[in-house]
Structure 1
Amino acid sequence: MTASARTLDFAGLSEPELVQLARLGRGEAFGVLMQRCNQPLFRTARSVMRDDTEAEDVLQEAYVRAFQKLGDFRGDSSLLTWLTRIVLNEARDRLRRRRAMVELDAVERAQEAGQVLVFPSGQAAGDPERDAARAEARRLLEHAVDELPEAFRLVFILREVDGRSVEETADSLGVLPATVKTRLHRARRMLRESLNAKLASALDGAFPFLGARCGRITEAVLARLQATGLAVA
């Protein structure tokens, strides 16, 4: 490896350049791509799973699956949009597998002991790193968003919390832009019914993606990619 390659400023590279280097197995390129996408993708995973820990697991698995077939990424959309679809598929598949297992277990338990298995609520514990003065407001807001039906919850997270455009959101979810607008309007209306207007100022801090979590996911995925030979240190 040449000195220029070793001192390459990966953080300053464009997305296409990073994708090309990632295809060549450069671990630094994978790391920068994940750091750029971690927060919005974590929010997407959490909007389906409604649990921080499970969202982390989903994101790690989705990254590994995506990077294993990075050659399929043609650049027709942004990498974030492409990854969002993979994260959504992974999260929804996980929920379907879990529900199938829960239903089977429930039948067996009912036959044996007459008991019904309660599906876990998925409520996440409070994060002590959050600012104390706004923590309760954010918890109330996050709880209200969690209670939205999934179709409206996803649109709200992508548009209002993550700041994606109508077109990006529509492309990520595979729906029409008009559908995004309609669902966002209904999501806002449902939230207004359950939240006081004074909580609006807490929105920017909702679903935070803290440095420790970002680093943990990036390191874990890189370790898995290196173990399979897909990336080099």
Structure 2
Amino acid sequence: MTRGEEFLRATLPALDLVHNLARRLARDTTEAEDLVQETYTRAWAAWVAGRAPLRVEPWLATICLNAGRDRARRGRDRREVPWDSVPEPAAQASVEAEAIEHVQREIVERTLRSLPEEQRIAVTLMDLCGFTAAETAAIVGAPRGTVLARVHRGRKVLARLIDRGEVTRDAPRP
């Protein structure tokens, strides 16, 4: 088996996880896809250099998180209209269902974005990506107890926003 085949066999099962994480780090689908591509490019470079991990999913999540942070630092958050916001022709019922799903997803993403970055990342990794506290701690480079505290505080803020009815489509972006 070639090195490329080994890489694909090891990393492709984690593609959905990486895409979900990238979607929560990025502002739109296009940026998320760019982040996934950058994640796999960096992972391939490390793999070829002989730095294959013992556990692929936390390794890829760490690369994705770092790539997202690098993009934010470099100011690559473009303020363009994403292509995925342009509707495609479809049946009316399908358009309505898509619109409802889009609004719900937008509300969840805006609510998550209202959290401080450290809490948002911890909640995303544990609650949405399914990593354990130990895995999340390794990914973000913080002690397990710190990660658990961040998740706890983040969940409390989210619950408070939901209870107060402050989770709306028009909620301001931080």
Q: Which interval holds the TM-score relative to the shorter structure?
A: 0.7 to 0.9
Partner of 1:109: none
Task: Sort the Cα spacing of 1:46 and 1:122 in 2 relative to 1 into closer, same or farther, 3 A.
Answer: farther
Q: How many residues align?
A: 155
Q: CA deviation at 1:151?
A: 0.8
Distance in structure 2 (CA, Å) of the matches to 1:122 and 1:184: 32
Provide structure 1 residue ranges, at least 5 long, that are not aligned to the other structure. 1-20, 103-118, 198-233
Contact residue 24 and residue 109 of structure 2 kept, 8 A: no
Partner of 2:91: none
State the identity %: 32
Q: What is the TM-score with the length of structure 1 in the denominator?
A: 0.56
Partner of 2:145: 178
1:158-177 equivalences under 5 Å are: 158-177=125-144
1:15-30 equivalences under 5 Å are: 21=1, 23=3, 25-26=4-5, 29-30=6-7
Matched, 1:84 2:43: no
Matched, 1:132 2:91: no
Which structure has more relative contact order (CA 8 Å, sep 6+)? It is 1
Query: Of the two, which has the highest radius of gyration?
Result: 1
Q: What is the TM-score with the length of structure 2 in the denominator?
A: 0.73
Task: Sort the Cα spacing of 1:44 and 1:131 in 2 relative to 1 into closer, same or farther, 3 A.
Answer: farther
Partner of 1:120: 79
2:71 to 79, 90, 94: 94
Q: CA deviation at 1:121?
A: 8.9
Partner of 2:116: 149
Provide structure 2 residue ranges, at least 5 long, that are not aligned to the other structure. 89-93, 165-174
Q: CA deviation at 1:48?
A: 2.6
2:23 to 46, 60, 75: 46
Distance in structure 2 (CA, Å) of the matches to 1:68 and 1:54: 21
